Amino acid sequence: MPLSGPTISVLVLALSSLIAATVFASSATARVAAATVTAPQNGASVILLAGAGGNPPPLDAALVARGATVYAEHCARCHGEKLEGQANWRRANAQGRYPAPPHTDAGHTWQHGDPVLLADIMDGLPLPNTDMQGFRGKLSSNDQAAALAFIKSTWSPETREYQWRMTLTHHLWGGTGH
């Protein structure tokens, strides 16, 4: 059956719309990818994109207090009573595993957004690189969030602001930090 003039017009219009949409989507994806890789991770750019304030939200005092208890009971054994981590935490030990890092400003915990940190608390980190166990089924979600709130409460304002930007970045671009 031969195509009529109106049918051809509709097909051309549909094809041109599809091409335009594909070009737009590719261009938008390229812009976001370039922004993810090249845009400075500064407060102004993230705030502009997120539409949120630059300062991290205040920590809930009751959650921080609960977190201090949870941390002492479940985290301090490896990460230290004063969040100092284990010696030589940047180097793999004889078994090829990395010792527990500090959770202070001197560590790298603050370089990750909340979703990554909470996933690490819940699921642990995989062998053979680390001995970090997960706390899924051992700690409630609230206790896991409380431990993280306690850790955050020890950071300097600058470190908290940076970590907040990593959390926003994660939500915007799916990044994990660093």
**What is the predicted pLDDT for the residue at 126?**
78
Tell me, yes or no, whether 47 lies in a domain: no
Q: What integer pLDDT is reported at residue 157 of this predicted model?
A: 94
Closest CA to 64 of 138, 148, 140: 148
DSSP per-residue codes, 78-137: HH-TTS---TTTTS--TTS-BPPPP-STTSSGGGS-HHHHHHHHHH---TTTB-----BT
For residue 153, give the DSSP letter: H
- Per the omega criterion (within 30 degrees of 0), is the bond before 128 cis? yes
User: Of 66, 46, 67, 68, which is closest to residue 55 (Cα–Cα)?
Assistant: 46
Q: Residue 90 is encoded by which pair of tokens?
A: 């940047």
Please indicate, yes or no, whether residues 73 and 33 belong to a single structural domain of this protein.
no
- In a domain? residue 55: no
- Phi, psi torsion values for 161, nearest 5 degrees: -65, -45
23 shares a domain with 74: no
Encoding tokens for residue 134?
């997960």
Confidence (pLDDT) at 54: 64
* Reported pTM: 0.68
Is residue 48 situated within a structural domain? no
**61-105 pLDDT tens trace:** 999 999 999 999 999 999 999 999 999 999 999 988 999 999 999
Which CATH number does the domain housing residue 74 bear?
1.10.760.10
| Domain limits for position 128 | 61-173
Q: Would you say residue 34 has pLDDT above 60?
A: no
